[in-house]
Amino acid sequence: MTWFSNLYQHAIVKKAIMAVSGLFFFGWLAGHLLGNLKVFQGADKFNAYAEFLRTMGTPLLPESGVLWLVRGLLTAAIILHIWSATSLTLLNRRARTSDYEKRQGLQLDYAARTMRWSGYLVAFYIVYHLMHLTWGNVHHDFIPGDPYANLVSGFQVVPIALVYIGANILLGFHLYHGLWSLFQSLGLAHPAYNPWRRHFAITFSIVMSLGFISIPVAVLTGVIS
């Protein structure tokens, strides 16, 4: 622990931790999207997938063992990600206490500039998403054990579907800057693959964002019912 706390006081290490935890979110999100898209295969397949998440790893591991392991890792990653971001933000505030009358943005893109805000909003969205479709305490008609029905009845409420669509657009922006940025933070740069870092970040974030948005849109348009 002393080893870790000694390392953790350095800004570049914090940034590397943000990159590694971010990388973990990307992998998890890809799996989450792949699983959720089964909603297009109908209630049986989707609910069977939800059941698989609980039974995965049995009988070697206890029921829900893998699920709770992943949940634990995600929680740890989120805590480290937000903790590092907060501490770096405070460092940056201290680094310029009297600001310019005017400072022009030159290569600063929208995603990079709004990283902090998209981060806050995505964090709120995650909590809301859990309360809505995992715990069900903000869902108007939650049926434990029937995720397909909960998803469809949840997204049939137009304002809720719009919140999901908006949040996933923001998530796309956050992913785009994060995915490109983590290469830099981990020291992965070479003229041979530098252009591909951008292409990869753009493609991945668009696929993720549109993939998740497709689900509430499908419910609203009646493709899924």
**Residue 117 Cβ vs another protein, minimum distance, rounded to whole Å:** 13
Distance (Å, rounded) from C-alpha 79 to C-alpha 128? 17
The smaller minimum CB distance to another protein, of residues 184 and 203, is found at 184
Q: Is 26 exposed, middle or buried (0-12, 13-18, 19+ CB in 10 A)?
A: middle
For residue 115, what are its two tokens? 């990283």
- Decide: is 41 part of the binding site for another protein (CB under 8 A): no
Q: Which stretch, 140-148, 149-157, 158-166, 185-193, contacts another protein (CB under 8 A)?
A: 185-193
**Residue 100 Cβ vs another protein, minimum distance, rounded to whole Å:** 5
Q: What residue type is 156 in one-letter code?
A: Q
Distance (Å, rounded) from C-alpha 208 to C-alpha 122? 14
Q: Which stretch, 4-12, 41-49, 74-82, 165-173, contacts another protein (CB under 8 A)?
A: 4-12
- Decide: is 188 part of the binding site for another protein (CB under 8 A): yes
- Decide: is 185 part of the binding site for another protein (CB under 8 A): yes
> Helices 194-220 and 158-185 meet at what angle, rounded to 10?
170
Around Cβ 81, how many Cβ atoms within 10 Å?
Answer: 21
| Binding positions for another protein, rule: CB under 8 A | 6-7, 10-16, 88, 91-92, 94-108, 112-113, 115, 177, 180-181, 183-191, 194
